[in-house]
Amino acid sequence: MSASPIDSDLLVLAQSFRTTLRHAVYLSRSMDGDGELTTMQMSTLSMAAEEPLRVSRIAANLGIRVPSATEQIIKLEQAGLVSRTPDPTDSRAVLVQLTEMGRSAWEDAGRLRNERVAALLAHLDDDDRATLAAALPVIGKLSRTA
Amino acid sequence: MSASPIDSDLLVLAQSFRTTLRHAVYLSRSMDGDGELTTMQMSTLSMAAEEPLRVSRIAANLGIRVPSATEQIIKLEQAGLVSRTPDPTDSRAVLVQLTEMGRSAWEDAGRLRNERVAALLAHLDDDDRATLAAALPVIGKLSRTA
DNA sequence: GCTCATAGTTAGGTAGCCTAACAGTTCGGC
DNA sequence: GCCGAACTGTTAGGCTACCTAACTATGAGC
Protein backbone atom coordinates (compact mmCIF):
# COMPACT_ATOMS: atom_id res chain seq x y z
CA MET A 1 0.00 0.00 0.00
CA SER A 2 2.57 2.58 -0.93
CA ALA A 3 2.49 5.13 -3.72
CA SER A 4 0.24 3.21 -6.08
CA PRO A 5 -2.49 1.35 -4.19
CA ILE A 6 -3.49 -0.91 -7.05
CA ASP A 7 -0.07 -2.31 -7.65
CA SER A 8 0.34 -4.59 -4.71
CA ASP A 9 -2.99 -6.39 -5.04
CA LEU A 10 -2.79 -6.59 -8.77
CA LEU A 11 0.66 -8.08 -8.64
CA VAL A 12 -0.46 -10.73 -6.20
CA LEU A 13 -3.38 -11.62 -8.43
CA ALA A 14 -1.12 -11.54 -11.46
CA GLN A 15 1.24 -13.96 -9.79
CA SER A 16 -1.41 -16.51 -9.02
CA PHE A 17 -3.05 -16.03 -12.37
CA ARG A 18 0.24 -16.82 -14.07
CA THR A 19 0.76 -19.93 -11.98
CA THR A 20 -2.75 -21.16 -12.58
CA LEU A 21 -2.49 -20.48 -16.26
CA ARG A 22 0.72 -22.44 -16.45
CA HIS A 23 -0.92 -25.46 -14.91
CA ALA A 24 -3.93 -25.04 -17.15
CA VAL A 25 -1.62 -25.10 -20.13
CA TYR A 26 -0.21 -28.42 -19.02
CA LEU A 27 -3.76 -29.63 -18.51
CA SER A 28 -4.73 -28.62 -21.99
CA ARG A 29 -1.66 -30.23 -23.45
CA SER A 30 -2.43 -33.46 -21.66
CA MET A 31 -5.79 -33.54 -23.37
CA ASP A 32 -4.56 -33.68 -26.93
CA GLY A 33 -1.86 -36.26 -26.60
CA ASP A 34 -3.95 -39.29 -27.19
CA GLY A 35 -5.47 -38.78 -30.53
CA GLU A 36 -5.84 -37.56 -33.95
CA LEU A 37 -5.97 -33.79 -33.96
CA THR A 38 -3.62 -31.45 -32.15
CA THR A 39 -4.91 -28.39 -30.34
CA MET A 40 -3.60 -26.17 -33.11
CA GLN A 41 -5.39 -28.24 -35.72
CA MET A 42 -8.56 -28.06 -33.67
CA SER A 43 -8.24 -24.29 -33.50
CA THR A 44 -7.73 -24.06 -37.23
CA LEU A 45 -10.72 -26.23 -37.96
CA SER A 46 -12.83 -24.28 -35.48
CA MET A 47 -12.08 -21.07 -37.31
CA ALA A 48 -12.70 -22.53 -40.73
CA ALA A 49 -15.90 -24.10 -39.50
CA GLU A 50 -17.53 -20.71 -39.21
CA GLU A 51 -16.53 -19.32 -42.59
CA PRO A 52 -13.82 -19.73 -45.22
CA LEU A 53 -10.69 -18.00 -44.01
CA ARG A 54 -7.52 -16.61 -45.50
CA VAL A 55 -4.20 -18.11 -44.54
CA SER A 56 -3.02 -14.82 -43.09
CA ARG A 57 -6.00 -14.59 -40.76
CA ILE A 58 -5.49 -18.13 -39.57
CA ALA A 59 -1.85 -17.37 -38.88
CA ALA A 60 -2.77 -14.23 -36.96
CA ASN A 61 -5.37 -16.01 -34.89
CA LEU A 62 -2.99 -18.82 -34.04
CA GLY A 63 -0.22 -16.38 -33.24
CA ILE A 64 2.16 -17.92 -35.77
CA ARG A 65 3.74 -16.69 -39.02
CA VAL A 66 2.16 -17.15 -42.39
CA PRO A 67 4.62 -19.77 -43.66
CA SER A 68 4.03 -21.87 -40.56
CA ALA A 69 0.31 -21.64 -41.10
CA THR A 70 0.70 -22.62 -44.76
CA GLU A 71 2.63 -25.69 -43.65
CA GLN A 72 -0.05 -26.79 -41.22
CA ILE A 73 -2.86 -26.07 -43.63
CA ILE A 74 -1.20 -28.13 -46.33
CA LYS A 75 -1.07 -31.03 -43.91
CA LEU A 76 -4.74 -30.64 -43.13
CA GLU A 77 -5.42 -30.52 -46.85
CA GLN A 78 -3.44 -33.70 -47.43
CA ALA A 79 -5.44 -35.31 -44.67
CA GLY A 80 -8.56 -34.32 -46.58
CA LEU A 81 -9.89 -32.10 -43.81
CA VAL A 82 -9.76 -28.72 -45.53
CA SER A 83 -9.70 -27.44 -49.08
CA ARG A 84 -7.74 -24.48 -50.43
CA THR A 85 -9.30 -22.42 -53.18
CA PRO A 86 -8.29 -19.04 -54.58
CA ASP A 87 -10.35 -16.17 -53.26
CA PRO A 88 -12.62 -15.12 -56.17
CA THR A 89 -12.34 -11.47 -55.14
CA ASP A 90 -8.53 -11.52 -54.91
CA SER A 91 -6.56 -14.21 -56.64
CA ARG A 92 -3.53 -13.64 -54.47
CA ALA A 93 -5.45 -14.89 -51.47
CA VAL A 94 -6.41 -18.45 -50.64
CA LEU A 95 -9.57 -19.44 -48.85
CA VAL A 96 -9.38 -22.35 -46.47
CA GLN A 97 -12.59 -24.18 -45.73
CA LEU A 98 -13.66 -27.41 -44.13
CA THR A 99 -14.42 -30.40 -46.26
CA GLU A 100 -17.32 -32.65 -45.36
CA MET A 101 -14.81 -34.98 -43.78
CA GLY A 102 -13.09 -32.13 -41.97
CA ARG A 103 -16.31 -30.98 -40.44
CA SER A 104 -17.20 -34.36 -39.06
CA ALA A 105 -13.67 -34.98 -37.80
CA TRP A 106 -13.80 -31.62 -36.08
CA GLU A 107 -17.18 -32.33 -34.53
CA ASP A 108 -16.09 -35.75 -33.35
CA ALA A 109 -12.89 -34.47 -31.82
CA GLY A 110 -14.69 -31.59 -30.14
CA ARG A 111 -17.25 -33.95 -28.68
CA LEU A 112 -14.51 -36.20 -27.38
CA ARG A 113 -12.69 -33.34 -25.75
CA ASN A 114 -15.82 -31.95 -24.24
CA GLU A 115 -16.54 -35.30 -22.70
CA ARG A 116 -13.06 -35.53 -21.31
CA VAL A 117 -13.26 -32.06 -19.80
CA ALA A 118 -16.77 -32.70 -18.52
CA ALA A 119 -15.43 -35.73 -16.69
CA LEU A 120 -12.97 -33.47 -14.93
CA LEU A 121 -15.63 -30.91 -14.14
CA ALA A 122 -17.75 -33.64 -12.62
CA HIS A 123 -15.28 -33.80 -9.75
CA LEU A 124 -16.09 -30.26 -8.72
CA ASP A 125 -19.01 -29.36 -6.48
CA ASP A 126 -21.76 -27.02 -7.64
CA ASP A 127 -20.26 -23.95 -6.03
CA ASP A 128 -16.91 -24.48 -7.70
CA ARG A 129 -18.56 -25.00 -11.04
CA ALA A 130 -20.55 -21.81 -10.65
CA THR A 131 -17.41 -19.93 -9.70
CA LEU A 132 -15.61 -21.29 -12.71
CA ALA A 133 -18.47 -20.54 -15.07
CA ALA A 134 -18.57 -16.94 -13.86
CA ALA A 135 -14.87 -16.46 -14.41
CA LEU A 136 -14.64 -17.78 -17.95
CA PRO A 137 -16.01 -14.60 -19.55
CA VAL A 138 -13.58 -12.56 -17.48
CA ILE A 139 -10.63 -14.59 -18.73
CA GLY A 140 -11.97 -14.22 -22.24
CA LYS A 141 -12.05 -10.48 -21.75
CA LEU A 142 -8.43 -10.55 -20.62
CA SER A 143 -7.33 -12.53 -23.64
CA ARG A 144 -9.05 -10.10 -25.92
CA THR A 145 -7.45 -7.15 -24.18
CA ALA A 146 -3.96 -8.43 -24.83
CA MET B 1 -32.15 -33.11 -18.02
CA SER B 2 -32.61 -36.59 -19.38
CA ALA B 3 -31.07 -39.83 -18.16
CA SER B 4 -27.93 -38.28 -16.82
CA PRO B 5 -28.67 -34.80 -15.48
CA ILE B 6 -25.07 -33.72 -15.22
CA ASP B 7 -24.14 -34.37 -18.80
CA SER B 8 -25.75 -31.56 -20.68
CA ASP B 9 -24.71 -28.75 -18.36
CA LEU B 10 -21.26 -30.15 -17.88
CA LEU B 11 -20.72 -30.42 -21.60
CA VAL B 12 -21.73 -26.83 -22.13
CA LEU B 13 -19.35 -25.70 -19.43
CA ALA B 14 -16.65 -27.94 -20.82
CA GLN B 15 -17.05 -26.39 -24.23
CA SER B 16 -16.64 -22.86 -23.02
CA PHE B 17 -13.85 -23.84 -20.68
CA ARG B 18 -11.96 -25.33 -23.60
CA THR B 19 -12.45 -22.26 -25.73
CA THR B 20 -11.39 -19.93 -22.96
CA LEU B 21 -8.39 -22.06 -22.18
CA ARG B 22 -7.33 -21.98 -25.78
CA HIS B 23 -7.36 -18.22 -25.83
CA ALA B 24 -5.57 -18.10 -22.51
CA VAL B 25 -2.86 -20.28 -23.98
CA TYR B 26 -2.33 -17.79 -26.77
CA LEU B 27 -2.29 -15.05 -24.19
CA SER B 28 0.33 -16.81 -22.17
CA ARG B 29 2.42 -17.47 -25.23
CA SER B 30 2.28 -13.83 -26.20
CA MET B 31 3.77 -12.96 -22.84
CA ASP B 32 7.02 -14.83 -23.18
CA GLY B 33 7.94 -13.91 -26.69
CA ASP B 34 9.86 -10.81 -25.94
CA GLY B 35 12.55 -11.87 -23.60
CA GLU B 36 15.09 -14.04 -22.11
CA LEU B 37 13.41 -16.95 -20.39
CA THR B 38 10.73 -19.17 -21.91
CA THR B 39 7.70 -20.26 -19.93
CA MET B 40 9.17 -23.71 -19.53
CA GLN B 41 12.39 -22.29 -18.19
CA MET B 42 10.45 -20.10 -15.79
CA SER B 43 8.57 -23.15 -14.56
CA THR B 44 11.77 -25.07 -14.05
CA LEU B 45 13.38 -22.24 -12.15
CA SER B 46 10.24 -21.77 -10.06
CA MET B 47 10.38 -25.38 -8.97
CA ALA B 48 14.07 -25.31 -8.23
CA ALA B 49 13.66 -22.06 -6.34
CA GLU B 50 11.81 -23.83 -3.57
CA GLU B 51 14.15 -26.75 -3.08
CA PRO B 52 16.71 -28.77 -5.03
CA LEU B 53 14.88 -31.12 -7.33
CA ARG B 54 15.58 -34.32 -9.21
CA VAL B 55 15.50 -34.33 -12.97
CA SER B 56 12.71 -36.89 -12.99
CA ARG B 57 10.48 -34.69 -10.84
CA ILE B 58 11.11 -31.71 -13.03
CA ALA B 59 10.20 -33.74 -16.08
CA ALA B 60 7.04 -35.00 -14.42
CA ASN B 61 5.98 -31.53 -13.37
CA LEU B 62 6.59 -30.13 -16.81
CA GLY B 63 4.79 -33.02 -18.43
CA ILE B 64 7.79 -33.97 -20.57
CA ARG B 65 10.11 -36.99 -20.67
CA VAL B 66 13.28 -37.23 -18.67
CA PRO B 67 15.67 -36.87 -21.63
CA SER B 68 13.89 -33.70 -22.71
CA ALA B 69 14.19 -32.32 -19.21
CA THR B 70 17.89 -33.18 -19.11
CA GLU B 71 18.36 -31.26 -22.32
CA GLN B 72 16.67 -28.14 -20.97
CA ILE B 73 18.44 -28.35 -17.66
CA ILE B 74 21.81 -28.60 -19.35
CA LYS B 75 21.01 -25.42 -21.23
CA LEU B 76 20.08 -23.68 -18.00
CA GLU B 77 23.32 -24.96 -16.51
CA GLN B 78 25.34 -23.63 -19.43
CA ALA B 79 23.61 -20.31 -18.98
CA GLY B 80 24.78 -20.38 -15.36
CA LEU B 81 21.28 -20.37 -13.92
CA VAL B 82 21.24 -23.78 -12.25
CA SER B 83 23.78 -26.25 -10.94
CA ARG B 84 23.62 -30.03 -11.11
CA THR B 85 25.06 -32.01 -8.23
CA PRO B 86 24.72 -35.70 -7.38
CA ASP B 87 22.17 -36.45 -4.69
CA PRO B 88 24.20 -37.38 -1.57
CA THR B 89 21.57 -39.93 -0.54
CA ASP B 90 21.39 -41.64 -3.94
CA SER B 91 24.23 -41.23 -6.39
CA ARG B 92 22.09 -42.19 -9.33
CA ALA B 93 20.06 -39.05 -8.89
CA VAL B 94 20.99 -35.50 -9.73
CA LEU B 95 19.84 -32.48 -7.77
CA VAL B 96 19.10 -29.34 -9.72
CA GLN B 97 19.25 -26.08 -7.83
CA LEU B 98 19.33 -22.39 -8.60
CA THR B 99 22.58 -20.53 -8.66
CA GLU B 100 22.79 -17.03 -7.27
CA MET B 101 22.50 -15.76 -10.79
CA GLY B 102 19.61 -18.10 -11.55
CA ARG B 103 17.69 -16.86 -8.59
CA SER B 104 17.99 -13.24 -9.52
CA ALA B 105 17.23 -13.92 -13.18
CA TRP B 106 14.15 -15.81 -12.08
CA GLU B 107 13.04 -13.06 -9.76
CA ASP B 108 13.56 -10.40 -12.37
CA ALA B 109 11.70 -12.30 -15.04
CA GLY B 110 8.86 -13.08 -12.64
CA ARG B 111 8.58 -9.47 -11.65
CA LEU B 112 8.47 -8.42 -15.28
CA ARG B 113 5.76 -10.91 -16.11
CA ASN B 114 3.73 -10.02 -13.08
CA GLU B 115 3.83 -6.40 -14.10
CA ARG B 116 2.74 -7.24 -17.58
CA VAL B 117 -0.18 -9.34 -16.34
CA ALA B 118 -1.06 -6.74 -13.71
CA ALA B 119 -1.35 -4.19 -16.48
CA LEU B 120 -3.90 -6.42 -18.16
CA LEU B 121 -5.77 -6.98 -14.91
CA ALA B 122 -5.93 -3.25 -14.39
CA HIS B 123 -8.41 -3.09 -17.25
CA LEU B 124 -10.91 -5.17 -15.32
CA ASP B 125 -13.33 -3.72 -12.82
CA ASP B 126 -13.33 -4.84 -9.20
CA ASP B 127 -16.14 -7.34 -9.65
CA ASP B 128 -14.39 -9.04 -12.51
CA ARG B 129 -11.17 -9.22 -10.57
CA ALA B 130 -12.95 -10.76 -7.60
CA THR B 131 -14.62 -13.29 -9.86
CA LEU B 132 -11.31 -14.18 -11.40
CA ALA B 133 -9.55 -14.44 -8.05
CA ALA B 134 -12.24 -16.81 -6.79
CA ALA B 135 -11.93 -19.06 -9.82
CA LEU B 136 -8.17 -19.51 -9.80
CA PRO B 137 -8.16 -22.09 -6.99
CA VAL B 138 -10.90 -23.97 -8.80
CA ILE B 139 -8.87 -24.16 -11.99
CA GLY B 140 -5.92 -25.23 -9.91
CA LYS B 141 -8.00 -28.01 -8.47
CA LEU B 142 -8.96 -29.14 -11.96
CA SER B 143 -5.37 -29.22 -13.11
CA ARG B 144 -4.43 -31.31 -10.14
CA THR B 145 -7.28 -33.72 -10.78
CA ALA B 146 -6.08 -34.48 -14.28
C1' DG C 1 2.69 0.05 -68.07
C1' DC C 2 5.79 0.70 -63.99
C1' DT C 3 6.27 0.62 -59.37
C1' DC C 4 5.15 -0.59 -54.92
C1' DA C 5 2.48 -3.16 -51.61
C1' DT C 6 0.16 -7.50 -50.42
C1' DA C 7 -0.80 -12.91 -50.12
C1' DG C 8 1.20 -17.16 -50.18
C1' DT C 9 4.73 -20.55 -51.02
C1' DT C 10 9.38 -22.42 -50.95
C1' DA C 11 13.94 -23.13 -48.85
C1' DG C 12 16.80 -23.71 -45.09
C1' DG C 13 17.69 -23.60 -40.27
C1' DT C 14 16.66 -24.07 -35.12
C1' DA C 15 14.53 -25.68 -30.80
C1' DG C 16 12.02 -28.84 -28.22
C1' DC C 17 10.03 -32.97 -27.93
C1' DC C 18 10.09 -38.05 -28.56
C1' DT C 19 11.85 -43.28 -28.30
C1' DA C 20 15.61 -46.48 -27.95
C1' DA C 21 19.82 -47.72 -26.23
C1' DC C 22 23.27 -47.18 -22.78
C1' DA C 23 25.96 -46.45 -18.09
C1' DG C 24 26.02 -46.18 -13.33
C1' DT C 25 23.68 -47.12 -8.71
C1' DT C 26 20.73 -49.38 -5.53
C1' DC C 27 18.27 -53.14 -3.62
C1' DG C 28 16.36 -57.83 -2.81
C1' DG C 29 17.08 -62.80 -2.83
C1' DC C 30 20.03 -66.31 -2.32
C1' DG D 1 28.85 -61.03 -0.16
C1' DC D 2 27.00 -61.24 -4.90
C1' DC D 3 24.02 -61.38 -9.01
C1' DG D 4 20.12 -59.81 -11.47
C1' DA D 5 16.25 -56.65 -11.59
C1' DA D 6 14.76 -52.04 -11.02
C1' DC D 7 15.72 -47.26 -11.13
C1' DT D 8 18.04 -42.44 -12.51
C1' DG D 9 20.12 -39.96 -15.96
C1' DT D 10 22.56 -39.25 -20.28
C1' DT D 11 23.50 -39.99 -25.19
C1' DA D 12 22.05 -40.72 -29.99
C1' DG D 13 19.03 -40.13 -33.67
C1' DG D 14 14.79 -38.56 -35.59
C1' DC D 15 10.46 -35.83 -36.08
C1' DT D 16 7.58 -31.70 -36.00
C1' DA D 17 6.49 -27.03 -35.57
C1' DC D 18 8.15 -22.92 -35.59
C1' DC D 19 11.15 -19.12 -37.52
C1' DT D 20 13.44 -15.70 -41.27
C1' DA D 21 14.69 -14.75 -45.94
C1' DA D 22 13.89 -15.03 -50.59
C1' DC D 23 10.73 -15.80 -54.32
C1' DT D 24 6.21 -15.72 -57.30
C1' DA D 25 2.05 -13.79 -58.48
C1' DT D 26 -1.61 -10.61 -58.09
C1' DG D 27 -3.57 -6.04 -57.13
C1' DA D 28 -3.53 -0.78 -56.81
C1' DG D 29 -1.81 3.98 -57.66
C1' DC D 30 0.10 7.13 -60.63
**Shortest Cα–Cα distance, B61 to chain A (Å):** 9
Give one word for B63, left, alpha or beta, with left for phi > 0 and alpha for psi -120 to 50.
Answer: left
Measuring CA to CA, which residue among A126, A143, A71 is closest to residue B124?
A143
Q: Are residues B27 and B46 in the same domain?
A: no
B110 has a pLDDT exceeding 90 = no
A69-120 pLDDT, tens digit each? 999 999 999 999 999 999 999 999 999 999 999 999 999 988 888 888 898 8
A3 has a pLDDT exceeding 50 = no
B10-42 pLDDT, tens digit each? 999 998 998 888 778 777 766 765 567 888 898
**Shortest Cα–Cα distance, A117 to chain B (Å):** 5
Given B6, B124, B146, which is nearest A27 (Cβ)? B146
pLDDT for A129:
94
Number of domains in chain A: 2
Q: Are residues A22 and A47 in the same domain?
A: no
Residues on chain B touching A24 (C-beta within 8 angstroms): 21, 24-25, 139, 142-143
In terms of residue numbers, what domain contains B27? 1-31
SS3 B34: coil
Give the pLDDT mean for A7-12.
85
Q: Which of residues 12-71 of A touch B (CB under 8 A)?
A: 13-31, 39, 43, 62-63
Distance A93 CA to C3 C1' (A): 21
Measuring CA to CA, which residue among A93, A88, A51 is closest to residue A70?
A93
A140 has a pLDDT exceeding 80 = yes
pLDDT for A116:
87
Q: Are residues B93 and B42 in the same domain?
A: yes
Cross-chain residue pair A142–B27, CB shorter than 8 Å = yes
What CATH number is attached to the domain comprising A108? 1.10.10.10
Cross-chain residue pair A121–B10, CB shorter than 8 Å = yes
Q: Are residues B12 and B57 in the same domain?
A: no
